[in-house]
Amino acid sequence: MPQNKAVRVEDLGLVDYKEAWDYQERLFGEIVDLKIRNRREDLSLETPNHFLFVEHPHVYTLGKSGDLGNLLLNESQLEAKGATFYRINRGGDITYHGPGQIVGYPILDLENFFMDIHKYLRFLEEAVILTLADYGLHCSRSEGETGVWLGVGTPFARKICAMGVRASRWVTMHGFALNVNADLGYFDNIIPCGIRGKAVTSLHVELGVDSVDEQGVKEKILRHFAALFEASYTR
């Protein structure tokens, strides 16, 4: 089957979590269905790739292997904070999404790139690490803990980007959430990713500014993503 390394990028803006999840599922399903058809009918039709940027209203999501005890709010408290909650079909534990956070959902057929989920996750992390380096921040991975961190190996370790993906038939969905101008108070209502004793941070906090241009961050992410995956992208 021919490899298609072109990626269609969409910026959905501020979208309800369930609405964006349903859209992901539709794109994911279309790619999987095409791959099944290729195999059944001995075809070689190209499979598409997508990259969605989105921002969500306040929401907490729990991965399929996550512990509900890591959500520290009951239903009425969630409502009082203007937040919603979903159990979802990605890996990982609990996380928060909200305004000021850049969420990226690559929906890729990895057979167009490489068939290695571990490498896929490391490349997503690397795209974020390189993006933050453009702002003068030294970020890294924390052994055994997916995502991007500052201060690893010190008492001040803090997570700036969470990750959780799903893959089936080498097609991916869900992705990463990078805190850019996030209200970190919402993380106080969970044990983020089920990890105790480590803090969460945001790019604007690390830079000591009121706000960071989110469009500029997105462009940097895309540039590094395309270089790592040897991909091209269109909007």
Check whether 53 is labelled as a binding-site residue: no
149 class by beta-carbon count within 10 Å (0-12 exposed, 13-18 middle, 19+ buried): buried
Q: Which of 193, 203, 222, 231 is catalytic?
A: 193
Q: Which H or E run includes 118? A: helix 117-133
Check whether 131 is labelled as a binding-site residue: no
Q: Using CA atoms, how far apart are residues 204 and 140, in angstroms rounded to an integer?
A: 18
Check whether 66 is labelled as a binding-site residue: no
Check whether 163 is labelled as a binding-site residue: yes
Is 193 catalytic? The answer is: yes
Check whether 204 is labelled as a binding-site residue: no
Q: Using CA atoms, how far apart are residues 51 and 233, in angstroms rounded to an integer?
A: 9
Q: Using CA atoms, how far apart are residues 62 and 157, in angstroms rounded to an integer?
A: 23
- Read off the tokens for 6: 């072109």
Check whether 93 is labelled as a binding-site residue: yes
Nearest to 10 by CA among 107, 122, 101, 125: 107
Check whether 176 is labelled as a binding-site residue: yes
Check whether 80 is labelled as a binding-site residue: no
Annotated binding residues for substrate: 90-97, 162-164, 175-177
Annotated binding residues: 90-97, 162-164, 175-177
Catalytic sites, residue numbers: 193
